[in-house]
């Protein structure tokens, strides 16, 4: 899994007034859970910029006044209107304790069903997994090369060593569904498929200067 370094400072003063002052200084209040005691800290947005605008998950080397902690971002609270982080929850991680995180899904290959005219339908873009930190991957790769029209994969069908998938096992991740062109190809004789596809491509195309029958008739009545 990818790693990143973030620096913060401990804060002693708590409460709404203090956090409001911090935000006015463009500092973000945060909390580190999972240590021997809960640690309240502040950090600059610039420290988090590289982590929040990406689907990647990071193991963070969190430096709090020179004290190192390995952590992950557990939750980020955003302002409902402005692009501003209001609060961050970090969770301390250790090499011998499993953690649960969401990992982005990456589809690889060109499905044969798409080549046949089907459409890719993606229902999930990340998966919640549980594992020791050393076994957490950057992405969950799914090869869809052999997926034909009607093929799909559910959470229960995924198998990875040292990784437990925690989403509902019946959840559909991705599939190839029929499109109009693909259905026409299945229903028509081979020598008519090319003609049908050409007709479908022509549907809805408006030729500049051309008039419909209804428009011409209306003009003639006028």
Report DSSP state, residue 116: T
* CATH 1.20.1440.230 is held by the domain 2-93: no
Name the CATH superfamily for 100-199: Ribosomal protein L25, C-terminal domain (2.170.120.20)
**Beta pairing partners, 174:** 122, 153
* Residue 128 in this model has a pLDDT that exceeds 60: yes
**Average pLDDT of 184-198?**
46
pLDDT band at 22 (very low <50, low <70, confident <90, very high): confident
pLDDT tens readout for residues 146-160: 999 999 999 999 999
pTM of this structure: 0.71
What integer best gives the mean pLDDT of the chain? Answer: 82
pLDDT tens readout for residues 55-113: 888 999 999 999 999 999 989 998 888 878 888 999 999 999 999 999 999 999 999 99
Res 200: pLDDT:
41
Which residue did the predictor score with more confidence, 136 or 198?
A: 136
Q: Where are the domains of the chain?
A: 2-93, 100-199
> Tokens 């062109």 sit at which residue?
181
Residue 62 corresponds to which tokens in the numbers above?
Answer: 């969190």
Please give the backbone phi and psi of residue 51, each rounded to the nearest 5 degrees, phi first: -105, -25
Which residue did the predictor score with more confidence, 211 or 79?
A: 79
């Amino acid at each position: 899994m990818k790693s990143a370094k973030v620096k913060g400072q401990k804060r002693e003063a708590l409460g709404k007034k203090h956090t409001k002052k911090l935000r006015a200084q463009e500092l973000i209040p945060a909390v580190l859970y999972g240590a021997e005691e809960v640690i309240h800290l502040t950090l600059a947005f610039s420290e988090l910029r590289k982590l929040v605008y990406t689907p990647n998950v990071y193991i963070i080397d969190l430096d709090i006044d020179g004290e190192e902690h390995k952590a992950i971002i557990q939750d980020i609270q955003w302002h409902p209107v402005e692009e501003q982080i209001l609060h961050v929850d970090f969770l301390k991680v250790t090499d011998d304790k499993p953690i649960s995180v969401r990992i982005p899904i990456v589809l690889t290959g060109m499905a044969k069903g798409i080549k046949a005219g089907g459409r890719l339908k993606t229902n999930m873009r990340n998966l919640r997994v549980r594992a020791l930190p050393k076994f957490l991957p950057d992405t969950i790769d799914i090869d869809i090369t052999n997926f034909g029209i009607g093929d799909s994969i559910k959470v229960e069908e995924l198998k990875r060593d040292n990784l437990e998938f925690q989403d509902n096992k019946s959840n559909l991740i991705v599939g190839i569904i029929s499109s109009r062109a693909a259905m026409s190809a299945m229903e028509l004789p081979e020598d008519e498929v090319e003609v049908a596809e050409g007709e479908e491509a022509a549907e809805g195309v408006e030729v500049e200067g051309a008039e419909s029958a209804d428009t011409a008739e209306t003009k003639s009545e006028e």
